[in-house]
Chain A
Amino acid sequence: MTALGVIGFSSPWLLLGLLALPLLVLLLRAVPPAPLKRRFPGVALLLGLQDRDAQSDRTPWWLLLLRLLAVAGAIIGFAGPVLNPQTGLTGSDPLLIVVDGTWADATDWSARRAVISDKLAEAGRAGRPAALVNLTDLPPEGPNFQTADAVARGLAGFTPNPWEPDLDRATAWAATLSGAFETYWVSDGLDRPERQELLTALQARGPVQVYQPLRPLVALRPARFADGTVSLTAVRLGADTDSTVAAIGLDPAGTERQLATAPLAWTGTEGTASFDLPPELRNRITRFELVGQDSAGAVALTDDSLKRREVALVPFTTTSEGLRLLSPLHYLRQALVPTTDLIEGPLADVIPANPDVIALADVAQLPAADAQALLAWVEQGGLLLRFAGPRLAAADMAATTTDPLLPVRLRSGGRSVGGTMSWGEPKSIAPFDADSPFFGLTIPGDVVVNSQVVAQPGPDLADRVIAQLTDGTPLITRSTYGAGQIVLFHITANAEWSSLPLSGLFVQMLDRLAVSTRSDLPDIGSLTGTVWKPQTLMDGFGTLQDAADRPGVAGERLAMGQVGADLPPGLYAEGDRVVAVNAITPDRTLTVATWPATVTVDTGEAPRQVDLMGPLLAVALALLIVDVVATLALSGRLIGAALVLLSFGALSHPDSSHAQSVDEFALMATSEVVLAHVLTGNAQVDDMAQAGLFGLSDTLLRRTSVEPGTPLGVDIERDELAFFPLLYWPITVDQPLPSQAAYDKLNRYMATGGMILFDTRDGDRDVLGSQTPEGQKLRAIAAGLSIPPLERIPADHVLTRTFYLLQDFPGRYNAPALWVEAADPNAELIEGMPFRNLNDGVTPVVIGGNDWAAAWAISPQGMYLFPVGRGAAGERQREIAYRFGVNLVMHVLTGNYKSDQVHVPALLDRLGQ
């Protein structure tokens, strides 16, 4: 590239073409515009006239200048001019573009991609091979150097990852590279301790340039729940930013939306936001986001740790006066208070609250109504947690009958080991089976059981045991019922029968049973041996995607916490438990990466390189167009050319002439009575409607004093309807529904005396009503119209006698159903006639399916277009169809005039004649 000041040229040799311009001047001056030959009788009067001057014999100077500029513009344009050419990459070695590709890149990823694209274009212009490497997704082998164009093609699918690069691995990878290349490092701006080693390894291969724009960056740490509020902290890099945190979750309708927002209050580089939300709302939150930042670092997913389960504790009786520490529920309460919302009360009170868990401590017998309600609640998915006790042991009903609210049948009395009155040592708990939910929990040595209730042996007992004593006696049993489950601890909930409630194991057990929820990530111990299945995963932009096909992640890996390619941020589930893995760890801090002086850092502040080739060629083209216009003007053909262009424009935009044709349309529609049909978009149906109305108009002209003009097709979206007394609307299955504006127009039309004749044209198929496709379409169309109540046309309707006396209304078909506006049921009966007087008694709609247009249709020569029926009967049917059309037009034009005629004798009588 050759640079001339701020403009450089990629092919400067083409500029030599400018030297040819003087030659062009000579050529153009020699050729004047060609003359035009015209036949014109008036030439007899022109003979002998002289031109005033011979100027246009030569090309005018300004036209010459125009053409020179156009050619010069084209020459310079093809020479490839570039404004502010960047001379940064001067080498001829292959170019390696290294991208951090982390969540921190995501907020301004499009700008970064543009920079990468620029660099690739530059490498392409210099003919250098290039390669693109994402540090968060290292290629297994060395970089694959290709032509810059090929690399640029893959750029569209190049996205950042939500995790951070493993720079140790990257350094080892860089050390394996060989050969010389130049490196362009697009940095995300975050400092990492191993960066220097990677830089050194890359510098060993060639010069390194860094692109690191200065821009603010905010990262959101995971949410914490404390003291009834959810608090979030954010860390930032760079200037002050007003950031807002939004809590996002499903609303009661199941739609994801923003549930609450809170501003971040900054102190130094750390900002906090807190949400004080009611538990119902809080439990709905699925994630927190920094508003306006598209980055995985700006999203904090929430999991069980925010969800507070509602646990109902039901004591045996609220009136019992025992010492607090002896209360069967005390330890349970202590274990659950930090992590759940507790409610206490009698069973009848807590079931309507629909808690997640109901704990019954030593309750043997429930009233039948309560038992029913409890069973229904369990069936809906509740977890019933029961503890044994003296009362349960004493109740012997359980031994003989199967209580659905107990997972197993119990022997009466229970047993006691290692007590003062019994033999043997207190029993300890056996290690948990692999299929037990408690698998992997460590059992403290000092947990012993003194007394318990004993399960009745049975075929299904073994399946229901989830914890047992060292001698094999079931300690905890579980059964499912409906969508819920019932868990029975065969010991008391207090320390009377065992020391289990005193131990930490008790809390962990409740956690595993999803009775309580943990406040933090489970420790390694409780994660060991579990496999977590990803549910949703986050990409670099913080967008959540379903992770249905991803393999599970071992609990140990989850406990390490460091997100990476094998543990992308997202939600992971195991059984009922869900853990959120976020891109930002709770102790994450941000520091700006600083680079040694040997590296040039591009902060993106320098003026961008602009390719001028396109604009210059566009200018040259525009000049050539001006030249065409000017040449036409010189030879007097401009107006003709403009007319040609205009007519093309009119052809391609038929609507543009609509404004002028509105008046024309109005004149056509109003200078005579004009029947109209609605254009359906189906050319065949429209033609038939036109021909039908033409035939009807012809009949009206010959038989009546109505002399209609040529019928018009009406576009209900565009045309004014008020001019037409009658609209014929054939229904086709594929016609579009009218817009709201068109509906308004139609409703106004009908309310002010217009009539629409709907024709479903299905009289041959429609036997039982509107079950044909056309009938359904009519329903869809009519849904937006304010159509009054309809009735089958009564035998005394005025439509039966406005001109002819009719009782049938056939068209091409002769289905009897014809629907008109129903008479007011309260209408006064005058001589047996309901008195219709709205809109002068004209029904706004007539609905039928007899395909009248086909029966009326005639060609311009007066031939019938469609056959009706057979023989003389068919001709009679066509005649009746015409008579119906005449009656219809008469009805709409004269209103209830014919209706009044029947009262003439009464009127004359009243006038004293």
Chain B
Amino acid sequence: MTDPLALRAGAESLAAPLPALLAQADHLAASVILGDHGRRRAGTGDTFWQYRPAQSHDEARMIDWRRSARSDAAFVQEKEWQIAQTVMLWVDRSASMQFAAGDRPSKADRANLLALATAIVLLRGGERVGLTGQTVPARRGHAQSQILAQALLDGQTGDYGHPDTRGLLPHSRAMFVSDFLGDFDMIEAAMLQAADGGIKGALVQVLDPQEIDFPFDGRTIFESMQGSLRHETLKAGDLRAAYLSRLAQRQDRLAELARITGWQFHIHHTGQSAAQTLLRIYGALSRGTR
């Protein structure tokens, strides 16, 4: 999936069944950009909110004559206050994401697909979506999805990646997609920095089933994707239990980190259907919207 058009087509088809995702809209007081988020209170917006009796300070042009004609009093039509949300995405583009076993897609492919599908859903809902790292600023509109698809396919060096928090707006929302197999301290630092900015969002760990099952045996030399790390064993099967416990430990720590910062943590493996995880991201980002 190295063609931006193909990536976008896949993401569009994945996003198609979901209604426009409306990100959770609390703590948006500082953001004044108009969007589609009803605040359940009267304000500036397009949709009808309520009729109220006209007060003395209301100008005559604000009176809704059609409603007023049905009764003796004069009424004013109020609109719902609507604001747009900003969602910043970070997708790990390091070499470890390129891992793929069997005929499954690589982790990077799946991560890009999930991120772009989420972005398309958000854009359709009128949100502003961008990438962290000051590469793609958050914008609204359908055209943004093409820019995002292009940017997501840009390569990056390094064996393992860690979230890039540059360009995150305070009190906005974010989604980090990675395998989170790199240095945990870096991940933790990035998360805490984001939490300090009042940012909430979703952590999505994308793993290959081989990384979950560790189906190896016999004398093996394991190397990281770019060869920076190396481990030799005589009986790979004996390491399975230790590996699995370390993986569980890492996931526990991620979940704990997410819990204390108020984020949502999801594990996705490439053997699964992407739609299932997209549904969960949708649930996480839309929770408490209305």
Q: Which residues of A contact B182 (CB under 8 A)?
A: 44
Measured in the bound complex, the distance between the Cα atoms of B250 and A805 in whole Å is: 72
Q: Which residues of A contact B223 (CB under 8 A)?
A: 37-40, 43
Closest to B246 in A: A45
Is A57 touching B99 in the complex (CB atoms < 8 A)? no
Cβ of A597 < 8 Å from any Cβ of B? no
Measured in the bound complex, the distance between the Cα atoms of B217 and A45 in whole Å is: 17
Is A47 touching B231 in the complex (CB atoms < 8 A)? yes
Cβ of A460 < 8 Å from any Cβ of B? no
Measured in the bound complex, the distance between the Cα atoms of B36 and A480 in whole Å is: 123
* Interface locus among B16-24, B110-118, B235-243, B258-266: B235-243
Q: Which residues of A contact B218 (CB under 8 A)?
A: 33, 36, 56, 634-637
Cβ of B216 < 8 Å from any Cβ of A? yes
List which A872-892 residues lie within 8 A (CB) of chain B.
Answer: none
Measured in the bound complex, the distance between the Cα atoms of B234 and A33 in whole Å is: 10
Q: Which 7 A-B pairs have the closest CB atoms?
A: A636-B218, A636-B217, A41-B96, A635-B218, A35-B219, A43-B222, A45-B246
Closest to A57 in B: B234
Is A56 touching B225 in the complex (CB atoms < 8 A)? no
| Given known A36-B218, A635-B219, contact A42–B238 (CB-CB < 8 A) | no
Is B229 touching A56 in the complex (CB atoms < 8 A)? no
Q: Provide the A554-586 mask, 1 if CB < 8 A to any CB of B, else 0.
A: 000000000000000000000000000000000
Q: Provide the B60-104 mask, 1 if CB < 8 A to any CB of A, else 0.
A: 000000000000000000000000000000000000100100000
Is A42 touching B219 in the complex (CB atoms < 8 A)? no
A interface residues, Cβ below 8 angstroms from B: 32-47, 49, 51-52, 54-57, 634-637
Is B179 touching A41 in the complex (CB atoms < 8 A)? yes
List which B202-218 residues lie within 8 A (CB) of chain A.
Answer: 208, 210-211, 214, 216-218
| Contact sample, A vs B, 15 pairs, CB 8 Å cutoff | A33-B219, A35-B232, A36-B219, A36-B221, A37-B220, A39-B222, A40-B210, A41-B224, A42-B181, A42-B247, A51-B233, A56-B234, A634-B218, A635-B217, A637-B218
Greatest chain B CB density within 10 A among A37, A38, A42, A49 is at A42
Is A51 touching B221 in the complex (CB atoms < 8 A)? no
| Given known A54-B234, A635-B219, A636-B217, contact A39–B225 (CB-CB < 8 A) | yes
Closest to B230 in A: A43
Cβ of B282 < 8 Å from any Cβ of A? no
Q: Which residues of A contact B237 (CB under 8 A)?
A: 636
Closest to B160 in A: A44
Is B229 touching A51 in the complex (CB atoms < 8 A)? no
Q: Which residues of A contact B221 (CB under 8 A)?
A: 35-38
Measured in the bound complex, the distance between the Cα atoms of B242 and A735 in whole Å is: 62
Closest to B227 in A: A39
Is A43 touching B224 in the complex (CB atoms < 8 A)? yes
Q: Which residues of A contact B236 (CB under 8 A)?
A: 636
Is A38 touching B235 in the complex (CB atoms < 8 A)? no
Q: Which residues of B contact A634 (CB under 8 A)?
A: 218
Q: Which residues of B contact A49 (CB under 8 A)?
A: 231, 233, 239, 242-243
Q: Which residues of B contact A46 (CB under 8 A)?
A: 222, 231, 233, 239, 242-243, 246
Measured in the bound complex, the distance between the Cα atoms of B181 and A47 in whole Å is: 12
In angstroms, how far is the closest chain B Cβ from the Cβ of A640?
10
Is A39 touching B234 in the complex (CB atoms < 8 A)? no
In angstroms, how far is the closest chain B Cβ from the Cβ of A49?
5
Is B247 touching A52 in the complex (CB atoms < 8 A)? no
Q: Which residues of A contact B181 (CB under 8 A)?
A: 41-42, 44-45
Q: Which residues of B contact A57 (CB under 8 A)?
A: 234
| Given known A41-B181, A43-B231, A51-B238, contact A56–B246 (CB-CB < 8 A) | no
Partner of A47, one of B96, B211, B217, B229: B229
Q: Which residues of B contact A40 (CB under 8 A)?
A: 99, 210-211, 216, 222-224
In angstroms, how far is the closest chain A Cβ from the Cβ of B161?
11
Partner of A51, one of B159, B208, B225, B234: B234
In angstroms, how far is the closest chain B Cβ from the Cβ of A627?
16
Q: Which residues of A contact B217 (CB under 8 A)?
A: 635-636
Partner of B225, one of A37, A41, A52: A41
Q: Which residues of B contact A56 (CB under 8 A)?
A: 218-219, 234-235
Measured in the bound complex, the distance between the Cα atoms of B162 and A44 in whole Å is: 14
Is A39 touching B243 in the complex (CB atoms < 8 A)? no
Measured in the bound complex, the distance between the Cα atoms of B223 and A42 in whole Å is: 9
Measured in the bound complex, the distance between the Cα atoms of B237 and A46 in whole Å is: 12
Is A636 touching B216 in the complex (CB atoms < 8 A)? yes
Q: Which residues of B contact A45 (CB under 8 A)?
A: 181, 243, 246-247, 250
List which B185-217 residues lie within 8 A (CB) of chain A.
Answer: 208, 210-211, 214, 216-217
Q: Which residues of B contact A36 (CB under 8 A)?
A: 218-221
